[in-house]
Structure 1
Amino acid sequence: MDNKLTESSILEQENKLYRAIKDGNITLLDELLHDDLLFILPSGETITKEMDMDTYRGGALKVDELLSEIENLNIIDDLAVITLTMKLKGKFNEGPFEANFRYIRFWKKFGDGIKVVGGSGRAI
């Protein structure tokens, strides 16, 4: 069995992540995000996996529309770096929002699967 990351395996994980975000699926998010995740929000704040999960657990973020477009995908051994743009529409703390973002995400292969270990997003 080939133990290398592939473009299709990363795109599959990205699609799972989109579904988890849109559905607010805590179980799937927990599976896809590494316990030591660090992510920089558009505000510049650095958050951890637990902080991100709390956003969904508490119902603060509800995504109604999520449209992504992959820009780049580089695979480096057991790490993948992906850049993409995403249109998001939904509610944050009950206030409606609609915005376009650019993200970079780092996926790493572990014994129990491929997980997000880091990333950043900014409004564009």
Structure 2
Amino acid sequence: MSTTDQIIANEEALLLAIKNRDINSLDNLLHDDLLFNLPNGQTVTKAEDLDTHRSGQITVFAIEAKAQQINIIEDTAIVTVKISLKGKYIDKPIDGTFCYLRVWKNFNNHWKVVAGSCIELH
């Protein structure tokens, strides 16, 4: 499997884990030192992200990726992707298209997200 195919498979696994609130898969896919910038400018860690999913504060009803671009630089992959997302955060509805940037790094033949950010498209 090519590196690009590995990243595509990991991206699909990540979206599925988010939708299904699969904490074990998220734990495997996210690096312990992850930093992620939310659309409101807040930066969260892996532990904070997992707690949000674990507690049920975020519920995803539908998630779909489109217009994905992947750049491979040695043992790092940079992904930009537009995501249509429907769900709720606490009691606030989420229904929109977001542009995500994720940085994947290969650790002993295992890809993990080390950084990311998200903005809402209008």
Can you give the 5+ residue segments of structure 2 that lack an aligned partner in the other structure? Answer: none
Letter in 1 for 2:50: M
Secondary structure at 1:38's aligned position in 2? Answer: strand
Q: Structure 2 residue aligned with 1:45, among 27, 42, 67?
A: 42
For residues 31-74 of structure 1, what are the alpha-carbon distances to aligned partners after superposition, in whole Å with 9 as ceiling and x for unaligned?
00000000000000111000100100110001010011133210
- The 4+ residue runs of structure 1 with deviation greater than 3 A are none
| Count, aligned residues | 121
Letter in 1 for 2:71: N
Q: Structure 2 residue aligned with 1:79, among 76, 81, 84?
A: 76
User: TM-score under structure 1 normalisation?
Assistant: 0.93
Work out whether 1:12 is the aligned partner of 2:46.
Answer: no
Work out whether 1:35 is the aligned partner of 2:32.
Answer: yes
Work out whether 1:118 is the aligned partner of 2:121.
Answer: no
For residues 12-47 of structure 1, what are the alpha-carbon distances to aligned partners after superposition, in whole Å with 9 as ceiling and x for unaligned?
000000110000000000000000000000000111
CA contact (8 A) 1:62 1:91 kept: yes
User: TM-score under structure 2 normalisation?
Assistant: 0.94
Partner of 2:85: 88
Letter in 1 for 2:30: L
Partner of 2:18: 21
Letter in 2 for 1:48: T
CA contact (8 A) 1:80 1:108 kept: yes
Partner of 1:57: 54
Partner of 2:96: 99
